Structure 1
Amino acid sequence: MTGPGSGTIGQSPGGGSAPPANKNLVLLPGVKAEPFYISMQCGAEAEAAKLGYQLQTQAPDQFEAGLQTPIVTGVLATRPAGVLIAPTDDVALANPMTQLKDAGIKVVEVDTRLQDESVALATVSSNNEQGGQLAAQTVAQLIGDKGKVLVLNTKAGTSTTDARAKGFEDEIAKHPGITYLGQEYTDNQPAVAAQKVTAKLASDPDLAAVFATNLNTGEGAATGLRNAGKTDQVRLVGFDASPKQVEGMRSGEVTALIAQDPATIGRDGVQQVVAAIEGKPVQREIQTDLIAITRDDMDSKSQYFYKTAC
C-alpha cells in the first residue's frame, strides 16, 4: 500500500548502473532465523524468481550493527546488481550502505531505514508509527481506558520500533485515565524483556498492560508474565505474529497482536530494486498494511501469521 506523499524517482544520477546481464540480488535482513524476516525472504524470493533474478540472503546471528556491517562489506566485494537491506542501526549502517551505492549497486531499504534518506533509492516498510497508535487503541479498549501501561522497546536507534513506541506514546496520551509508565529497552533479547516485566511488576503490582514493540520482546514479555503468574491480570499486546506469539494468543498468554505483512515488504522491495536496475521509475516510499488480531478473530486473519520456512 502506498503511503501519503509517495512519489517516483528514476535512477540516481551517476549511480553507475550494473550491466543488464547481472541478475544477482542480495537480501540482508536484520537477523537470522526470525519468522518476520523469513516471511520477508519468502516474498522476496518468489518475486525475484518471477522477474528472472536470483536472490541470496545473508543475515547476522543477532540484530547488531557490528555484526551486519562486515556482511555488507562482504556483499560489496561480490558486486550484485541490487541489495535489499534492513539496516540494524539508522546511523551506523550509513557508511557501509553508501559504499554499496557508490559502487553502482542499487540499494533499497526494507523494514528499517537510515536517518540519511539520500542513500537508498526506496524504502519499503510498515507504517510503524500508525502501528504504535493501533496498539495504543487496542490496549485502551482491553483495559477499559484506565490503568498503568508499560512499553518494552528493543534498542535505541532502531527506526521501526522507535516509531512504534512514538506512535503508542502519542496515542495513549489521548486517554487520560491511563498512566503511561514510559518505555524500557530490552536489547532485543527475550530474557531481558522477561526480566524487565518481572521488575516492573515488583514496583507496580497493579500494572494493567504491556506493549511489546517487536517479536523477541513480546515473546520475552509473555515469559515474564507467565513466570509471575500475572497472565490473567496484565494484558499483553505484541507486535508481529510469529508462531510462538500466535500460540501464546491461542493459549491466552498474549491478548492481541499487531501484525505486519513482511512477505509483501519483500515482494515490493524486489520490485523496486529491479526497477532501479532496469532504469525504470522507482517509488521512494511504500508502506504496507498492519492489522490488529485478537483471540476472537485470529482464525479469520491467519494469512498474517509469519512463516518459519518458505
Structure 2
Amino acid sequence: MKKTLLLTGAALSAALLLTACGGGTVGETPSGDSGAKTNNKKLSLIPGVQAEPFYISMQCGAEAEAKKAGYELTTQAPQKFDAAMQTQLVNALGSNPPAALLIAPTDAQAMLAPIQQVKNRGSKIIEVDTALKDTSVAESSISSDNAEGGKLAAKTMAELAAGKTGSVLVLDTIAGTSTTNTRAKGFEDELKNYPNLKSAGVQFTQNEPDQAASKVTAALASTPDLIGIFATNLNTGEGAATGLRNAGKIGAVNLIGFDASPSEIEGLKKGEYQGLIAQDPAAIGQQGVQQAIAALEGKPVTRNLTASLHSITKANMDANAQYFYKQSC
C-alpha cells in the first residue's frame, strides 16, 4: 500500500509539472530514481522576460536544435525582467527538475540560490544571454560579447556624429544585470577615444520604457548639447525613441539601440533610430542546447561561448536582414 501511494504521488507531481510547462512528455520514470535523471530528455528554458523578440528568437533557435537532437524543450518566461518573478518559475521546477536548465539570470547575484537548488537536484545548468557572478554553477555560458557590443555602439555613434561635438547619454536597464551593465561600460570606455564626444553619464530605467522616455525628457532639458543616446536593450531603446518623439527631437539626437526587434527595425526605417547593434539570439539558443546535450552525454563542454554582433544602419540594413529578430517561431 505504501509503495502504491508513493508512486501515485510521483505521478501527480509529474502531472502538475507537465501542466505548468504547457504540454509535452515528462520523460521516463525509472524505478528508484528521481530528480533530473527522471527527465533525461527534457530541457527547460527560462529566459529573461516573455514576449520580447530577442528571447523569442532565442527560443526558436533552442527549440529547433533540441528537436533535431531528439530532446524536448519547454519554455517559461517571467512577465517582467524581474528576479522575484523568475525565481518563482525556477522554484516551480520543484522535485521534478529537467535534465538541463537553460536560463538567462535576471540578476547576477539574486538568482544564485534558486538556480543552485536546481543544480543540486541533478540538473545541468546552462547560462544563455546573462550570467551569474558565481562561475561555479553553470556548465557553460553563451552570450554576446557585451563589452565589444558597447564599443561597437560607441564607434557607430562617432561615425554618425561625423566630428560634431556634443554629449552622449547612456540608458541602462537595472544595476546588477550583467549583460546591459557590461554594454554600458564598453560604450563609456570606447567613447573616451573620441574627443568631440563627452559622456552625459549612465542612467538606469528599471527596464521600463516609460522610465526611459522620462529620462530622455529630463536629459534634453538639462543637457542642451545632447547629441546622442545609447540604449542598452530593447525596452530602453523603445522608451528613448518615445521620449525623442514627444520632444520633437527625432533625428536631431542620434539614437543607437541594442538589438533588432521588429519595432526597432521599423524605427530604423522611419529614422527614429540611427543605428542598432544586433545580436544573434537564435545562435545563442542553438549553442545553449548543444552545450546542454554535450554535458548530459559526457562530451566536451565549452565553458564560455560568444555570438556575433552587427552594427546596422539604414544604409546597410538590407544586407543584414538575417539578424532581424522574430516575433514567433
Q: TM-score range by the shorter chain?
A: over 0.9
Matching residue within 198, 201, 214 for 2:233: 214
Cα distance in 1 between the residues matched to 2:202 and 2:278: 20
Matching residue within 261, 271, 283 for 1:242: 261
Matching residue within 131, 150, 155 for 1:132: 150
> Displacement of 1:102 after TM fit?
1.0
Tell me if 1:150 matches 2:176.
no
Matching residue within 272, 279, 303 for 1:260: 279
- Aligned partner of residue 160 in structure 1, secondary structure: helix
> Displacement of 1:76 after TM fit?
3.6
Cα distance in 2 between the residues matched to 1:289 and 1:196: 30
> Displacement of 1:133 after TM fit?
0.2
Q: Which amino acid is the alignment partner of residue 48 of structure 1? A: A
RMSD value, Cα: 1.3
Matching residue within 77, 81, 84 for 1:59: 77
> Displacement of 1:20 after TM fit?
8.3
Cα distance in 2 between the residues matched to 1:59 and 1:259: 22
- 1:76–1:99 contact (8 Å) kept in structure 2: no
Tell me if 1:193 matches 2:212.
yes
Look up the match of 1:10: none
> Displacement of 1:275 after TM fit?
0.7
Look up the match of 1:34: 52
Q: Which amino acid is the alignment partner of residue 123 of structure 2? A: I
Q: TM-score, normalised by structure 1?
A: 0.93
Look up the match of 2:19: none
Of 212-221 and 70-79, the range deviating more from structure 2: 70-79
- 1:85–1:108 contact (8 Å) kept in structure 2: yes
Look up the match of 1:44: 62
- The one-character-per-residue Cα deviations of 1:216-241 (angstroms, maximum 9, x if unpaired) are 00011001001100012100000000
Cα distance in 1 between the residues matched to 2:36 and 2:242: 48
- 1:18–1:277 contact (8 Å) kept in structure 2: no
Identify if the C-alpha distance between structure 1 residues 40 and 176 changes in structure 2 by more than 3 Å, giving closer, same or farther. same
Look up the match of 2:303: 284
Tell me the matched-pair count: 295
> Displacement of 1:99 after TM fit?
0.7
Q: TM-score, normalised by structure 2?
A: 0.88
- Aligned partner of residue 224 in structure 1, secondary structure: helix
Moved over 3 A (4+): 16-21
Cα distance in 2 between the residues matched to 1:131 and 1:56: 29
Q: Which amino acid is the alignment partner of residue 118 of structure 1? A: S
Q: Which amino acid is the alignment partner of residue 263 of structure 2? A: K
- 1:39–1:263 contact (8 Å) kept in structure 2: yes
- Aligned partner of residue 238 in structure 1, secondary structure: strand
Decide which structure has the larger Cα Rg and report it: 2
Cα distance in 1 between the residues matched to 2:171 and 2:236: 7
- The one-character-per-residue Cα deviations of 1:53-103 (angstroms, maximum 9, x if unpaired) are 000001100000010001101124332101000000000000111111111
Look up the match of 1:307: 326
- 1:27–1:84 contact (8 Å) kept in structure 2: yes
Q: Which amino acid is the alignment partner of residue 217 of structure 2? A: T
Identify if the C-alpha distance between structure 1 residues 62 and 21 changes in structure 2 by more than 3 Å, giving closer, same or farther. closer
- 1:111–1:160 contact (8 Å) kept in structure 2: yes
Tell me if 1:119 matches 2:137.
yes
Look up the match of 2:104: 86
Return 5+ residue gaps in structure 1 as ranges.
1-15
Of 139-148 and 226-235, the range deviating more from structure 2: 139-148
Q: Which amino acid is the alignment partner of residue 140 of structure 1? A: A
Q: Which amino acid is the alignment partner of residue 142 of structure 2? A: V
- The one-character-per-residue Cα deviations of 1:228-287 (angstroms, maximum 9, x if unpaired) are 000121000000000000000000010000000000000000000011111111110000
Of 138-147 and 59-68, the range deviating more from structure 2: 138-147
Cα distance in 2 between the residues matched to 1:191 and 1:258: 22
- Aligned partner of residue 142 in structure 2, secondary structure: strand
Cα distance in 1 between the residues matched to 2:162 and 2:93: 51
Look up the match of 1:183: 202
- Aligned partner of residue 61 in structure 2, secondary structure: helix
Percentage of pairs with the same residue: 58
- 2:39–2:97 contact (8 Å) kept in structure 1: no
